[in-house]
Chains A and B, each alone.
Chain A
Amino acid sequence: MPPLKDMAVVVTGGASGIGGACAKLLLDQGAKVLIADLRSEAIDAAISSLAQSAATNLHGVACDVRSADDCERVIDAAQQKLSRIDALVHCAGILRPPGGRPVPMHQLEESEYDAVIDTNLKGTFFMNRAVLRTFVKQRSGQIVNVSSTSGLKGRPLDSVYSASKAGVIALSESIAKEVRPFGVRVQVVIPDAVDTPLWQQNGILTNSPPGALPPERVAELILFCLSLPADTVCENLVIAPFRARIGKRGAAAKIQSAASTPEGVDHA
């Protein structure tokens, strides 16, 4: 039996991007999914595009992760609609608030700081806390939080986003150790550039950078985490685009010709 079949999973940010890809792959694997997202129109659209084959396995609820009450309501809804909760995949996050621009920090408004930290970091706290109350009680469950490589190494013009994602990693690592005694597994996935609507929040640069990962790829890593054997856990889940980069023509040719030399010959 596929390990994800019948797993009851809450996916925040589940209407688009990485969360949307997760919801789709989970449904493909026979999981029961509740997607939570900020805008109910986006949820309706996602559900209607996914639901043909999985109407009874897919539910949605509107939720602002900046609100503790909203996050509690998501868990209540999951208990009702899915009849239990086995996993939380927390993807909800923003790069900057609507109308924001990539600017150096000395030009940032306090409101922009609040929007990003409240959504990305406090939202992770609210959503994780809400689901952990259930998981600790039932002595099982798993969380996969989504951070970013910007949380490992700060990026210029994304200072607050980077700080928030560093916070998500630290928060996840702390609670992973706290709730392990209860049999609750917490992992954090750290993607590099992914081709999602997040980039549109840059306003002036609406496109994803060339070579960005398809969101399905990150979703596949998240499903890999969820389907690990129960006695195994992964850390340092960094996923980056890989493509054959074209180096300088001369250098590549030199290396290529070196490859035709048997080892040892030019070292003897």
Chain B
Amino acid sequence: MVSSTSTTHEDATAESRSPHSACRTSLSDSDALANKVVVVVGGTGGIGRALADALVARQCCVVIASRNAPQGTSESGTWNCEHVVCDVRESDTVAAAFNLVMERHERIDIVVNCAGIGRSASSRNWVEPIMTLSDDDWQEVSDTNLRGMFLIARAAAIRMIPQGSGQIVNISSARGAIRGLPFASAYCATKMATKAMFESLAEELARFGIRVWSLLPDAVATELIADTTLGKRGMIDAAKLGALIADLLAFPADAALNDLLVAPFVPTNAAVGGIL
């Protein structure tokens, strides 16, 4: 797995710049991901962008599927990777995006859906009591997080079944999918629903060799929670989480890891009421 050969100075420098080096677990050195065709849905920001970075560093063929083309540059060169237009709220664009990937690459090995919102665009803030949660606010969160996940999973399954292999991954949420969070009822409802959907699909698609799993990250330092207090007990760095997801995608195909929860580890006394 790991060779202990020494690296040159140049190599070490390049490595320290790579987001992949932000997190190196024992699985980081397997080359199981090399040349895999990976569709990262919602790959222009947050966890998706970090994951795309990590996958490029591991020699994956990454296709970012998102509403808008990725902006900016990255030292690892992520933003040279392919982009297909895909709005997870629109069935047609999802199908067209997946058709385009199949035309170009003839297969899709991995699909990771990172597209998600915490609240509707018009909603004032994270604190959204149910009394003021409008029909449209609810619908917008539901369309993106839940219906979007359905459309992506269906599009992926249809193309992976003839291959007899693949991975479909749902970036759910520890806060949303383990226990409801006050003032985020729409968000939590959708995240818990996708976890349930994926438990169904895991059994449904296993017979075709397709691994279906959810990851439940706790507070991650992204725009999603930027103006909330969710990060007050520590946040996971998005680049580290991206590298960690890449490691999990590389896990040998004879094992299934479902609903793995990743949380910040911060030595704080709060958990024991300050008695220590």
Task: State the A residues within 8 Å of B (CB).
Answer: 2-5, 25, 28-30, 177-178, 180-183, 185, 213-214, 217, 220-221, 223-224, 226-247, 252, 255-256, 258-264
Contact = CB atoms under 8 A, between A and B. Distances in A.
B258 interface: yes
Given A217-B254, A260-B162, A261-B158, A229 B240 contact: yes
B254 A235 contact: no
A178 to B, nearest CB: 6
A140 B207 CA distance: 44
Nearest to A136: B276
A2 B261 contact: no
B267 A30 contact: no
B208 interface: yes
A154 B267 CA distance: 34
B271 interface: yes
Given A181-B267, A232-B240, A233-B264, 16 more contacts: A2-B4, A4-B26, A180-B266, A182-B276, A213-B254, A221-B257, A224-B251, A227-B25, A230-B265, A232-B262, A234-B261, A236-B259, A239-B256, A262-B99, A263-B94, A263-B155
Contacts of B253: 242
Nearest to B30: A220
Contacts of A213: 254-255
A221 B244 CA distance: 12
A30 B27 contact: no
Contact of B271 (A25, A180, A264): A180
Contact of A244 (B27, B207, B262): B207
Interface centre among B209, B254, B264 (most CB of A within 10 A): B254
Given A241-B256, A242-B256, A263-B91, A181 B26 contact: no
B207 A224 contact: no
Contacts of B267: 180-183
A225 B206 CA distance: 26
Contacts of B276: 178, 181-182
Contacts of B2: 2, 4-5, 28-30
A227 B207 contact: no
B234 interface: yes
Given A242-B255, A262-B95, A236 B216 contact: yes
B92 interface: yes
Contacts of A177: 271-272
A235 B209 contact: no
Interface centre among A3, A182, A229, A247 (most CB of B within 10 A): A229
Contact of B261 (A228, A236, A246): A236
A181 B207 CA distance: 45
Contacts of B258: 238, 240
Interface centre among A183, A232, A261 (most CB of B within 10 A): A232
A172 B271 CA distance: 14
Nearest to A185: B265
Interface in B229-273: 234, 236-237, 240, 244, 247, 251-269, 271-272
B252 A217 contact: yes
Contacts of B31: none
